[in-house]
Amino acid sequence: MAPHIHQFICLSDNFGVLVHDPETRATAAIDAPDGAPILAALAAREWELTDILLTHHHADHVQGVGALKTAFPKARVVGPLKEAEKIGGLDLKVGEGDLIMVGSLAARVMTLPGHTSGHVAYWFAEEDLAFVGDTLFAMGCGRAFEEPPDVLFHSLSRLAALPDETQVYCGHEYTLANAKFALSVEPGNTLLKERAAEVAALRAAGKFTLPTTISIELATNPFLRAEEPELQAAVGMPGADPAAVFAMLRERKNRA
């Protein structure tokens, strides 16, 4: 039985995401940006929170944990082993390759350093779902705050190798701004222009742009295209080391 996914805005542009297993009625929150909207979403669906899966230690991803634990004391808090001290209160500390069960749903942990040193993602392979926090965004990626750009590039390359049909849920609704930057990098990319127009229409209608898919990102996300000759030519770095192309793009985006 397919899981139910409910996505909603927390804070100004963070996403709250609930993953509900209809078979066992287990429900996981992916990150905890703000307790109140997550609790409201649970109440509206009469779902009981059983798990809180944290991707990294930044406050806008963990600050709602206390409110969620107050309302659901038995909820299990899962987070990256490498950031356990920064987060505090983890019931289960996880790292690369660990298997996490949310009811009957199985998530494999991917350690993806770059945005933070211990950042993790949760990949539900059977359901073609990946919850990637702030590592990958639609047509963008997170800043390399705690590791060099090449480390983040490697982490993104691992996500890019997931099956094309994988649905990707990210930590923020940044897609419109990311589309603008992507077009500045690769203005001749026809698929990118079509995607940017679609995103603009969705946002104008007040609709979300996520989830995206790995196949869409491979075609339109400059940060996943650093190996592509077309992109390298577009930025004046033909034949360059893809990691160097990525680092240039990330620095350019930092200044945008």
Annotated binding site: 56, 58, 60-61, 115, 134, 172
Kind and range of the H or E run holding 111 = strand 105-111
Residue 97 to residue 30: CA distance in whole angstroms: 18
Q: Decide if 56 contacts 119 (C-beta within 8 A).
A: yes
Which of 20, 57, 119, 172 is catalytic? The answer is 172
DSSP 21-67: -TTT--EEEES-S-HHHHHHHHHHHTPPP-EEE-----HHHHTTHHH
Which of 31, 51, 56, 119 is catalytic? The answer is 56
Which of 20, 57, 58, 119 is catalytic? The answer is 58
Which of 31, 51, 57, 115 is catalytic? The answer is 115
Phi and psi at 76, nearest 5°, equal -90, 130
Q: Is 56 a residue of the active site? A: yes
Q: Is 172 a residue of the active site? A: yes
Q: Is 61 a residue of the active site? A: yes
Which of 34, 61, 128, 150 is catalytic? The answer is 61
Phi and psi at 15, nearest 5°, equal -100, 135
Q: Is 51 a residue of the active site? A: no
Angle between helices 149-160 and 242-255 (to 10 degrees): 110
Phi and psi at 83, nearest 5°, equal -120, 15
Whose tokens are 């026809």? That residue is: 190
Count other C-beta atoms under 10 Å from residue 163's C-beta.
Answer: 12
Q: Is 4 a residue of the active site? A: no
Q: Is 58 a residue of the active site? A: yes
Binding residue numbers for Zn(2+): 56, 58, 60-61, 115, 134, 172
Q: Is 134 a residue of the active site? A: yes
User: 68 by DSSP, 3-state: which?
Assistant: helix
Which of 4, 60, 164, 241 is catalytic? The answer is 60
Residue 89 to residue 87: CA distance in whole angstroms: 7
Q: Supply the residues annotated as catalytic.
A: 56, 58, 60-61, 115, 134, 172
